[in-house]
């Protein structure tokens, strides 16, 4: 297996590698793990040579204009010919954007890609999967099933605001910075959470959003119609926002129950079967149909472990005396047993 030293890549970033070394780098980049190292060492190169100033906005504007209409091969040629260079200063941004082009070229086929893939580090979890993520600033995130998180690949923690984007559900343990640098979780559900150093969980899906604060202090920003409003939370608070924009604040006794999913546990406290069916769909990707409103309103209390949908459905079947039928499309229909 090909291994490359940091010095060789630094020479590559400086434009001093031979054709053979370029081929070695291309082969090395076929491994996705090496691609992450490549980006990390590119950032180190920038930090080691602060005298290099790039016209980043001009380079990015040109790059993203071209990817809308050209193949990667065309793009590489165009960048060589047209990238804007400050007077007497070599354009470092060229490496950021053509580096991604090189990675795609060595894959053996030409494809398109978006700005998001270049600028952001992306994480996605499948149904039934959780993932622990260490952010560059030392903060920690646990991502629940069927969720995604992204943050800037370069300079995260070195800018005025630490910013992450969440779709789904995650638990955060945010590291406090000596300069009181803000940490913001942005969601697609008209809600954002602004913190300094704290532990909290965020749920942001199509049917609504909620934030539960374990310790520390956070400010929740949300839209009420077209008006932006804010709520300051204290430990034990739960702020919820439904899909119509209606908000509610309450105090919860056990904040840990809202992150029990990290251990594949479900905590129900007089929870309706309808709500449980939503959780099954969001966690495992299994759609549940309940054949009566009366059954949908029946409630469950208790803590249960389940690694897959069938485990939880079997528990509900036993507790509530249910029968279920699985359709060809995978949908599960729940109904009561009538003697």
35-66 confidence digits (pLDDT tens): 778 877 877 777 776 544 445 455 555 545 54
Burial class of residue 223 in the structure, from the number of CB atoms within 10 Å of its CB (0-12 exposed, 13-18 middle, 19+ buried)? middle
* Beta-carbon count within 10 A of 103 CB: 20
Mean pLDDT, rounded, of the chain: 80
Distance (Å, rounded) from C-alpha 175 to C-alpha 178?
10
* Beta-carbon count within 10 A of 139 CB: 22
Q: What is the pLDDT of residues 267-303, one digit of tens each?
A: 999 999 999 999 999 999 999 999 999 999 999 999 9
Residue 210 has pLDDT above 60, yes or no: yes
The DSSP string of 197-247 is: S-EEEEEEETTEEEEEEEES-EEEEEEETTEEEEEEE-TTEEEEEETTS-E
Q: What is the pLDDT of residues 300-326, one digit of tens each?
A: 999 999 999 999 999 999 999 999 899
What pLDDT shows up at residue 187? 92
Residue written as token pair 């300094």: 196
What pLDDT shows up at residue 332? 94
* Beta-carbon count within 10 A of 256 CB: 13
- Collapse the DSSP code of 137 into the 3-class scheme (helix H, G, I; strand E, B; otherwise coil) and give the result: coil
Token pair in block for residue 307 = 């690694």
What pLDDT shows up at residue 55? 52
Per-residue pLDDT, averaged over 216-224, amounts to: 87
Burial class of residue 128 in the structure, from the number of CB atoms within 10 Å of its CB (0-12 exposed, 13-18 middle, 19+ buried)? middle
Q: Tell me the pLDDT band of 79, cut-offs 50, 70 and 90.
A: very low
**Taking the model in full, what pTM does it have?**
0.66
What pLDDT shows up at residue 45? 78
Per-residue pLDDT, averaged over 153-165, amounts to: 86
- Cα of first residue to Cα of last residue in the chain, in angstroms, is 66
* Beta-carbon count within 10 A of 93 CB: 21
Q: What is the pLDDT of residues 168-205, one digit of tens each?
A: 999 999 988 877 788 999 998 778 999 877 899 999 99
- Collapse the DSSP code of 128 into the 3-class scheme (helix H, G, I; strand E, B; otherwise coil) and give the result: coil
Q: Tell me the pLDDT band of 98, cut-offs 50, 70 and 90.
A: low
In the chain the domains, ranked by start, together with CATH numbers, are 6-117 (no CATH), 119-256 (2.60.120.1440), 264-336 (3.55.50.30)
What pLDDT shows up at residue 96? 53
Residue written as token pair 């729940």: 334
């Amino acid at each position: 297996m090909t291994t490359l030293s940091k010095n060789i890549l630094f020479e590559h970033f400086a434009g001093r590698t031979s054709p053979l070394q370029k081929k070695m780098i291309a082969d090395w980049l076929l491994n996705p793990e090496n691609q992450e190292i490549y980006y990390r060492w590119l950032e180190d190169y920038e930090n080691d040579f602060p005298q290099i100033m790039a016209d980043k906005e001009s380079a990015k504007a040109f790059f993203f204009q071209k990817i809308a209409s050209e193949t990667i091969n065309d793009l590489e040629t165009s960048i060589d010919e047209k990238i804007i260079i400050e007077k007497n200063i070599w354009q470092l941004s060229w490496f950021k954007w053509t580096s991604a082009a090189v990675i795609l070229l060595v894959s053996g086929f030409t494809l398109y890609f978006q700005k998001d893939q270049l600028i952001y580090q992306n994480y996605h979890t499948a149904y039934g999967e959780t993932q622990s993520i260490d952010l560059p600033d030392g903060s920690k995130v646990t991502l629940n099933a069927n969720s995604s998180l992204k943050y800037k690949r370069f300079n995260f923690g070195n800018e005025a605001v630490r910013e992450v984007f969440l779709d789904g559900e995650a638990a955060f343990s945010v590291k406090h910075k000596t300069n009181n640098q803000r940490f913001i979780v942005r969601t697609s559900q008209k809600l954002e959470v602004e913190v300094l150093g704290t532990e909290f969980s965020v749920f942001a899906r199509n049917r609504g959003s909620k934030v539960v604060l374990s310790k520390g202090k956070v400010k929740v920003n949300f839209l009420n119609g077209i008006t932006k409003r804010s709520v300051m939370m204290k430990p034990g608070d739960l702020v919820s926002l439904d899909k119509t924009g209606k908000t509610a604040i309450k105090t919860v006794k056990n904040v840990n129950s809202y992150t029990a999913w990290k251990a594949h546990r479900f905590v129900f406290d007089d929870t309706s079967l309808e709500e449980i069916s939503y959780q099954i769909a969001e966690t495992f990707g299994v759609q549940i149909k309940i054949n009566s409103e009366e059954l949908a309103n029946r409630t469950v209390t208790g803590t249960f472990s389940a690694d897959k949908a069938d485990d939880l459905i079997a528990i509900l079947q036993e507790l509530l005396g249910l029968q279920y039928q699985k359709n060809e499309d995978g949908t599960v229909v729940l109904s009561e047993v009538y003697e």
